[in-house]
Chains A and B, each alone.
Chain A
């Protein structure tokens, strides 16, 4: 079993829809990261969180440490949000363990 599981693997939405991407993990962590990767390869860090909730613009990330679960929400989605969203864990190994990503496509 992978240490970090993301769902769904692929998600297609219409512009304006509310989107949720989920991440479940099975190990102790010091922080959980949400990353965005556009075609072409570059990765941008969206959030790093160890408890509660963070918000940046239309993006909201939550984490429940007891349930080992995090969600990334996008409100009022837009075609430019189309990207791969990756959940990654940082723990005692001082390295990131990456999920396999969720491919999001937002249609106009």
Chain B
């Protein structure tokens, strides 16, 4: 079974530039999560999708971050414009079920450096 795929793996941009990350979840997984993990901290949920609908985006900085999951499969996370404090690893995860009763499977992450 293929795992969660993410690209790119690494990205370096200057502040005020834009960047987009892509995630392809495990086939059949209805729930998709985007997390931000700042160095030395645990992951923080940015947005949760159930199929192509948003379940929770309460911690997404909507003035600069946006995410979509067209057709309930792949997802993209965009930052525009980036700030220095956005430097982090962005993790995508998927699970069969949003109830917490199923494991979340994580992708390899995208390490973003904003200079």
| A36-76 interface bits toward B, Cβ cutoff 8 Å, 1 = contact, 0 = none | 00001111110010000000000000000000000000000
Q: How far is the CA of A98 from the CA of B42 in the complex (A)?
A: 6
Contact A31 B108 (CB under 8 A): no
Question: How many residues of B are counted as interface, with CB atoms below 8 angstroms from the partner's CB atoms?
Answer: 27
A-B contact pairs, 5 of them (CB 8 A): A35-B106, A41-B108, A43-B93, A43-B109, A99-B42
A7 CB to nearest chain B CB (Å)? 14
> Contact residues of B with A, CB < 8 Å?
33, 37, 40-45, 48, 55-56, 89, 91, 93, 98-101, 103-111
> Contact residues of A with B, CB < 8 Å?
30-31, 33, 35, 40-45, 48, 86, 88, 90-92, 94-96, 98-101
